[in-house]
Every structure is written in structure tokens, then in C-alpha cells.
Chain A
């Protein structure tokens, strides 16, 4: 038996033992009338993630892909990173915000200004998004103004006009494919 096969057998066997212990704890320490509620929560967690959270994230990614050529890869990456940080901090603060709203008889718990912090977090995220999209918006406005001044209503539409040699199509991939080992871009 090879080392990998032995490790796999060991891991699966140990995993079954641990799941068994969990089941035993469930049988001895949790009253049976609670089982249904636990099963519903586990099932609901899967549904909420797979049918709500993940599709929203996929949609955001598709949206980012749609504007990538206009904004540039780095701007999209920074914008997505800002959205990710904002979403994670919101997820962590949400229980505190709701629990604070519900009230607690203990004045030493939930002492922060969680809702305010999250508003500030999203203000920062919005500022980052504005900063990464503003060059493209500026370009668009300038183009519109120029088009207005030239008084030529039927100006031919050029695909993705810009002064900089902005990335278009899927340049990074092809660039990377032909890149020799050890010359990765530093970010």
C-alpha cells in the first residue's frame, strides 16, 4: 500500500470516528426534541449560501468582468477587494447590530457603535469604488463633451477609445502564457 493510500484510509477512518463521537455527544447531551431544529439550521445554512450568497457573489464577479476592459484589471481587483472586505466586516458586525437593537440587560456587553462603524466601512468602500472608476468616468465625460463641441451628430462609434494603451480583450492571460518562469509581475 502506498503512503498516499495509507494516509487516505487513515484520514477517512479518523473522520468517521470523529463524526461518530459527534453523534454520540448529540445523543447524550442534546435532547432529542432539538434534533429537528439543528437539522433545519444546517440545511438552511447550505441553502442560504448556495442559493443566495454565492449567486450574488457570482453576479458581482460577472459585473466586474463586464467593466474590466474599461477600468483596467488592477482597478477591478481593488474594487472587488474593497467589496469583499466590506461584506465580511458587515457579516461579522450584523449579529452585534441586531443584538444591540434587541437590547441586553447587561450594560457591559455590546458597547460599540457597530452600525456606525459599518456605515463608515461602506463609505470607505464607496470612496474606493469611486476612485477606481473615476478615470473611466472622466474619459467618458470628456468624450461626450468633445462630441458635443464638434457638432457632428453622426460621429462614428469607435470601440473602447482611450488615450492610454488600456488593457483590452484578455491581454493578461496571453501575456502570462508567454512569460518565462520567475518573471511574475509584482503587485
Chain B
């Protein structure tokens, strides 16, 4: 038995002896004086800021889609979600060059020899692997989701959300482990000049290149949610003004499984209250006092655009059936496909005078892809919660 383990460890040592020069060679080739602690800290700071912005805005988006009963949500400013989710996607795109640059500065550390010196170091290397792998996956599936391509074998929303916690958690652990190094850089010691020169490139040139890449990535995609950058929008999936009635749609009627028969003349909107059900035909809704609201469609995929809506205020409609919104409304759609055919609307949105059962968009009757005959439009909510092809609104006691 002892001989066996001895032989095994001798064989392992022989293997390692063969691997060691390869690892050392890889390290020498990938090393560069520019890849210093200071460069890693400079890029890491920007990347950490980008990740924290993505995490905060992503958390907000998640709470809007899964409201907590005890947490009141803001309905104003009406464009709030437009800003937070646009920021989420633009920052996520900008973090692609930042993440690659950060990994470039620390890549030689992959080839440390010996690979592990102590159990603590093993734990640290595992936490780095988790941070790197999860960060790359978060950015990649985010990019895939905004182009609506799902080649991964798991659901986007729950995975992106769960991995976001893991990414931010392992980032905090990483910062805790590296804090002495970061503190040393912040105190600006001698030995690493502000513009250290590497074998190939100076730090300033490197950071300048990363800066140009980051700014151009953001600038060429942000136009799908930031109007002034519209002319530069060459790489974003959506373009402002492209769609029926000059507005993009997240899911067409055909995609949602809404047939012409569903929205034919016999259509009515049912208001269900604890005391009974009342159906409103389209003519009845049109005869009620109409209100105008300028509200954005702001998609979870990051694109957004403002539009003019006209229809019946939800509070007025609820008053017709003597109901007041004190609990979440249950709003149902005619759509047969999709996760959002039935949504809940917290009372703060239902009570807001800007919230409409919209019948018109940008001066014309709603296009079928925009939810004809009637849809919900409320301030500050994600587009997937702005239920199209309404079938019923239920008020619970």
C-alpha cells in the first residue's frame, strides 16, 4: 500500500515536472510590466462600478416584475424604468471591454507555480474562477437575451438573477481578499509610475484603447433607449420609430397567439369585482371620457420609446363599477402564448391618473401588434407588464 502511494506520488511529481516549464513559459509570454496591480485596480474600479450599476438596476427591474406586498413602488417619474433599464443594458454592454481588459491585466496570474500553496489559496482561486466564469456568462447571456436568441439550456430570467447575486458576492469576496493590494495602490507608492511602460504598450495607451472601445460600444447601442444617440444606433437590436405606428413591439399578435377572431366585434372587457361582473364593449369604452397620456414603452430588453396614448383612465373605469384599487388588480390578456398573459398591478399604479386602458396610439386606433382593442399603459412599469389585448380586470377585496 505504501509502495503504491509512493509510486503514485512519484508519477505525479514526474508529470508536474513536465508541466512546470510549460506553465512558466506561458506566464513569461503573457507577462508585461503594464499588467501591474495599479492597472488592475484602475480597470477593476470601472468594472466594479459597472457591475454594481447593473446589479442595482437589475434588482429594481426584478422587484417591478415580482412586487413585494410590503414594498410600495414609485409611479413617478413616469420614465423612471426607462432610465433604469436603459442604463442596465448600456452598462452591461460597456462592461464587455472592461471585463476583457480586467482579465487581460491578471491573465499571467493563471500560471502561478506551484498552482496552489495553501488551502486558503485554493479557496481564493476557486472564488476567482467563480467570479470570472459567472461574470462572463452574465454578460454573454445578457447580450443574447437582447437579440432574443436563446442557445443556452436554462431560462434567462431566473438564471441571470441568481448568477447576479453570485457575481456580486464573489466580487465582494475578491475585494476583501485583495484590499491590502488595492489600499497600497491607492496610497501611490514608488515603483509603479502613473504611466508605466510595458513591453508592448504604455498604461496610458492601454487605458485609452479600453476607453475608446467602451465608449464606442455604448455609443453605438444606446440609441435604442436614448433619443439623442439615435443617429449613432448601428448595433442595437431595436431602432426608435421602427414598428407599427412608429413604435417597436416586444411580441407581435401572431407571436402571442392572438387571432383576429379574438378581437372581433364581439369583444368586451370584463371588470370582475367581488359583487359581480360587468362587460364593457369597445363602443362603451369609446363613449366614456377619454384622457391623453405621454408614456414610454420601456422593455426589459433595454429599448424604450415615448408615445402618445389615448383611452379611459383606469380609475374612472373602476369608479364605474364602484371599485377602488386597494389590493393588486389581476389583469388578463387574450394572448395564448407568453409568461405575461396574466399580470398583477399593485394599487399604486391602478390609482395613478396617468394609467390608462388605452384605445389609441400616436393619433390612431391601436394596431393589433400594440394590443388592439385595448391595452394597459401605466407610468414607470416594464413593457411586459403593460398588458396588451385585454380580456379582463379583476378587483379583489
The distance in angstroms between the C-alpha atoms of A104 and B254, with both chains bound, is 12
Given A12-B177, A45-B140, A109-B148, A80-B162 contact (CB < 8 Å): no
| Chain A residue total in the interface (Cβ 8 A) | 77
In chain A, residues 40-82, which have Cβ atoms closer than 8 Å to a Cβ of chain B?
40-43, 45-46, 48-50, 53-54, 57-58, 61-62, 64-65, 68, 73, 76-77, 80-81
CB contacts (< 8 Å) of A30 on chain B: these are 154-155, 158-159, 162
Q: Which residue of A has the minimal Cβ distance to B134?
A: A42
Interface class of chain B by DSSP = helix
A185 to B196, CA, bound (A): 12
Please report the C-alpha to C-alpha distance between residue A45 and residue B213 in the assembled complex, in whole angstroms.
21
Does A4 reach chain B (CB closer than 8 Å)?
yes
B130-146: contact bitstring with A at CB < 8 Å (1 yes, 0 no)? Answer: 10111011001101100
Interface of A (DSSP majority class)? helix
| Chain B positions within 8 Å of A45 at CB level | 132-133, 136-137, 140
Say how far B142's CB is from chain A's closest CB, in angstroms.
10
The verdict on B248 contacting chain A, using a C-beta distance below 8 Å, is: yes
Contact with A along B249-293 (1 / 0, CB 8 A): 111101100000000000000000000000000000000000000
Bound CA span A49–B161, Å: 23
How many Å lie between the Cα of A117 and that of B249 in the bound state? 24
- Given A77-B205, A99-B148, A106-B251, decide whether A42 and B137 contact each other with a Cβ distance below 8 A: yes
A31 to chain B minimum Cβ distance, whole angstroms, is: 8
How many residues belonging to B are interface residues under a CB distance threshold of 8 Å? 88
> How far apart sit A48 and B133, CA to CA, in the bound complex (Å)?
10
Contact B200 A61, beta carbon cutoff 8 Å: yes
* Cα distance A64–B193 in the bound complex, in angstroms: 23
Indicate whether A93 reaches chain B with its CB closer than 8 angstroms: yes
| CB <8 Å contact, B148 and A104 | yes
Q: Please, which residues of chain A bring their CB within 8 A of the CB of B164?
A: 22
Once bound together, how far apart are the Cα atoms of A61 and B31, in whole Å?
10
B166 at the interface (CB under 8 A from A): yes
A95 touches which of B149, B195, B199 (Cβ 8 Å): B149
B226 CB-CB contact with A under 8 Å: no
- Contacting pair A11 B173 (CB below 8 A): yes
B209 touches A84 (CB 8 A): yes
C-alpha spacing A176/B154, complex, angstroms: 52
The reply to whether B176 and A18 contact each other, CB–CB distance below 8 Å, is no
Check if B107 is an interface residue, CB within 8 A of chain A.
Answer: yes
Contact B176 A15 (CB under 8 A): yes
Q: Could you tell me the distance between the alpha carbons of A126 and B136 in the complex, rounded to whole angstroms? A: 28
**A19 with B165: CB separation less than 8 A:** yes
Residue of chain B at shortest CB distance from A60? B200
8 examples of A-B residue contacts, CB within 8 angstroms: A10-B176, A11-B173, A80-B200, A80-B209, A89-B216, A92-B93, A105-B255, A106-B251
